[in-house]
Amino acid sequence: MRLHSNDQIAPGHVLVMQSGEVLLCRLSELIYEPGDDSQTDMHVNPCDVAAARAMWFESKGAIQ
């Protein structure tokens, strides 16, 4: 998964692009499902980059 900062995305929301599909939803509503996400792009507002990184890209035990 690749994380992108995009000021066109509303704060608190995320745009996920994967295999020609596009999903726009609230960042807090995403649920991780294991699998190959190497071709997935996640776009969030610049103010949400740290939260998205903590939720999806750092080991879960590191943030508490």
CA atoms within 13 A on the CB side of 36: 2
Q: Which residue's structure tokens are 């066109």?
A: 8
What pLDDT does 20 receive? 86
What pLDDT does 14 receive? 95
What pLDDT does 56 receive? 74
The domain segmentation of the chain, as residue ranges, is: 2-29+36-56
User: What are the beta bridge partners of residue 4?
Assistant: 43
Predicted TM-score (pTM) of the model is 0.79
pLDDT tens for the chain, residues 1 to 64: 899 999 999 999 999 998 889 999 998 888 777 778 788 899 999 999 998 888 876 665 444 4
